Homo-oligomer: A and B are copies of this chain.
C-alpha cells in the first residue's frame, strides 16, 4: 500500500487505514521514514475541522477520568472524539502500568471514539514521540475533538502546549501554595484550568483553589487575543461540570477560528515541529551508520568498565561520524 492510498483511506475515515498510518509514522525503521513523510505531506492541507486539546496536570488529578467523561459527552453529541493517551511506562518493568482499556472503559467501547495509547518510552518527556503527526492523521480522518493526555508536571506541559490549540490544566482541589511558585510558568500556558475532584469533602478546598487561581490570572498574558483563561470546577467521578468544560472548549475554538488565531497558532508551531524532526532524524541516521555501530561496539565496553570516559568516547564517535 502506497502512502498516497493510505492517505485516501484515512480521509475516508477508515479505522484500519488510520491505525496503519499511525503505526507507520511511529515506526523507527529508516525505510519507513520517507513513506511517513509522504503520508504526512499528502494530509498536510487538511481543513481545520477539529480542535486539539492538550490535557496536563499532576498525578492523581484525575485526568483519565475527566478525559473519559468529556469524551463520552462529546460522542453523545455525535462529535467524533480521539484520545492520544500516554501510557505511563514504568522504567524498570518496561511495560505500562495501566492499560487504556481499563482506564477509559466506556469511551473505548464507543463507535465514535478512537483511543490510541502510546508509551512515552522515556524519549521526549511526557508526550509520545509522534503526537504532532498522529494529530494530523486524526484530524484528516474526521475527528473533531482530539484530546492529548500528558503525564506528569514539568517539561511535558510546555511540550504539549507547543502542539495543541488549547492547553488545559487539571489541578487537585488542595493545590494550595504550590500555585504561587513553581507552577506559575505552567499556569501561564493554560487557556482552561480545571479544578477536578471538587466533590464531597474537597468541595470547599476546590473553591478556595479556584479563587486563588482566578486571582493570579489577570496578571498573565495570553496568545489568543481577547481570550481570558477560564477556571472551572469539575467532578469527573460524579460527572459534574463536564458540560461547562466542553462548552468552554467549543467557545474557544469558535473565537479562535473567527479571529484567525487558530490558524496562526498552528503556523507558529510548525517551526519547532520542523526542528523536532530534524533532531530525531540526526539521531536515527547516526545510529543507522554501520561503521558507527561497529565503533560503538568497540568503545562501549570501556565506558562500561570505567577505563574510557563517557565524554571522551562521545567525542571519538562524533569525530568519526563527521570525519569522513
Contact = CB atoms under 8 A, between A and B. Distances in A.
Contacts of A221: 92
A175 interface: yes
Given A92-B221, A304-B271, A311 B133 contact: yes
**Mostly helix, strand, loop or mixed at chain A's interface?**
helix
Contacts of A176: 60
Nearest to A157: B152
Interface residues of A, number: 79
A257 interface: no
A21 to B, nearest CB: 13
Interface in A250-284: 263, 267-268, 270-271, 273-279, 281-283
Given A92-B189, A122-B158, A274-B299, 8 more contacts: A34-B315, A41-B312, A59-B178, A91-B158, A154-B156, A274-B300, A277-B314, A285-B322
Given A58-B178, A154-B156, A309-B44, A283 B282 contact: yes
Nearest to A133: B311
Interface of A: 34, 36-37, 40-41, 44, 58-61, 88-92, 97-98, 120, 122, 125-126, 133, 150-156, 158, 161, 174-179, 181-185, 188-189, 221, 263, 267-268, 270-271, 273-279, 281-283, 285-286, 299-300, 303-306, 309-315, 317-318, 321-322
Contacts of A133: 311
Contacts of A189: 91-92
Contacts of A263: 306
Nearest to A292: B278
B181 A154 contact: no
Contacts of A174: 174
A54 to B, nearest CB: 14
Contacts of A44: 309, 311-312
Given A178-B60, A277-B314, A185 B152 contact: no
A147 to B, nearest CB: 17
Contact of A267 (B155, B304, B312): B304
Contact of A91 (B156, B185, B304): B185
Nearest to A315: B37
A305 B270 CA distance: 9
